[in-house]
Amino acid sequence: MFGLEKQKKKKDEEFLFEIEKDLGNSAKNKALKQKVEARIQKVKEILRGGEKKEEFDQYGALLHGYTSVLKVLSRFKPK
C-alpha cells in the first residue's frame, strides 16, 4: 500500500566475504586446502626436529590455527 509493496518483496542479498566467494569455486577451495595441509606438515616437521625450543609454543599455536582453518575449509562445500 502506498508504494511499499515492492520493498517487502525485495530480499537483501546475504553479505559474503571474499574468502567465502573464493571457497565457492571448487578449484580455489582445493588449492587453499592443499596449501594449508602443506604448511601443517612443515610446522609438524619443525616441531619434531626440536631445534628451536624457545619458539616451540609459537609453533604449537600456529599448528592449532592451521588445523582450525582446515576444519573450517572441510565444512564449507564448494558449489
DSSP assigned state of 13: P
- Which cell numbers in the block locate residue 58? 609459537
- Which stretch of 4-13, 43-52, 55-64 has the lowest confidence by average pLDDT? 4-13
In this prediction, residue 26 carries a pLDDT of 85
| pLDDT confidence bin for 33, thresholds 50/70/90 | very high
Q: What is the mean pLDDT of the chain?
A: 84
pLDDT at 34 over 90: yes
The pLDDT > 70 percentage for the chain reads 82
Asked if 66 and 40 count as a contact pair (C-beta separation under 8 A), the reply is yes
User: How many residues in total does the chain contain?
Assistant: 79
Half-sphere exposure of 11 (CA within 13 A, CB side): 3
- Which sequence spans correspond to the domains of the chain? 18-75
